[in-house]
Amino acid sequence: MRIISTVPSQTELVAYLGLEDDLVGITKFCVFPDSIFRYKTRIGGTKTLDLDLIRSLSPDLILSNKEENIKEQIEELRRDFNVFVSDVKELPSATEMIKEVSRLTHRQSEGDMLIRAIKKSFIGLKPSSKSLSCLYLIWKEPWMSVGKDTFIHDMVSRCGWTNICEDSIRYPEVKFDELQPDIILLSSEPFPFKEQHKEELQSSFPDAKILLVDGTYFSWYGNRMKDAPGYFQGIIDAIQL
């Protein structure tokens, strides 16, 4: 089977399911696993797909996502190829995506095992015992956070925190003078927040706990979800100390 993945988390999932050799095309953002990133054909960015290059690879299946990709590009590809479009906004739709990708790639048993492991991992997560508001930042200039209809929002909520932007949708711009979060999480992606940004924000929010976090655990809805609760637990426990 010749598979092209236009979604980084689904690229990692395909490799996890044992289909690394079947992948013939990935995006430049598909950095995991490293072995794939190094030698697979790159077919552009998630929103800048090289359609001619994709056609030349003659894929049997293209994996895409409603949020990650541009609608017009995916619709054009659907005229000639079998394209699966996922729409993931919370844990249940993420596991449903895994189930469908596993079915399409004839890896149902592996997919079922992964889903069971993910569900077990989240059952073991112990949410924060403190009622804390959380500002999750994904971008700078302008500062941007996450709304209630995002996968990240669901992950933040499962940690027991209240998303301070839960009344918004998608990825709203935020004004700091209107917010008083207890926690600020600075994601590693898409904007690569560093220590200097943490220090900058601490002056604006002296009472908030500010942490740099690995954004892939909050936003990658594939096999990485199996390990996400353990990562979250470490943050929850550290904040509650």
Q: How confident is the model at residue 178 (pLDDT cuts 50, 70, 90)?
A: confident
What is the average per-residue pLDDT within 183-192? 97
Rounded Cα distance, 146 and 168, in Å: 8
Same domain, 14 and 78: yes
Angle at 121 (CA atoms; ends 21, 145), nearest 5 degrees: 85
Q: Which pLDDT does position 240 carry in this prediction?
A: 85
Does residue 128 belong to any structural domain of this protein?
no
Q: Does residue 147 lie within any of the structural domains?
A: yes
Q: Write out the residue range of the structural domain in which residue 149 sits.
A: 133-240
Same domain, 79 and 169: no
Structural contact between residues 104 and 61, judged by C-beta atoms closer than 8 angstroms? yes
Q: Does residue 166 sit in the same domain as residue 235?
A: yes
CA distance 154 to 195: 26
What pLDDT score was predicted for residue 177?
A: 87
CA atoms within 13 A on the CB side of 149: 8
Q: Cα(84)–Cα(95) distance, rounded to whole angstroms? A: 15
What's the helix, strand, coil split of the chain in %, to 5?
45, 15, 40
Residues 73 and 171 placed together within one structural domain of the fold? no
Over residues 76-134, the pLDDT tens digits come to 999 999 999 999 999 999 999 999 999 999 999 999 999 999 999 999 999 999 999 99
pLDDT (average), residues 158-162: 98
pLDDT confidence bin for 193, thresholds 50/70/90: very high
Which of residues 49, 64, 87 is at a domain's end? 87
69 domain residue, yes or no: yes
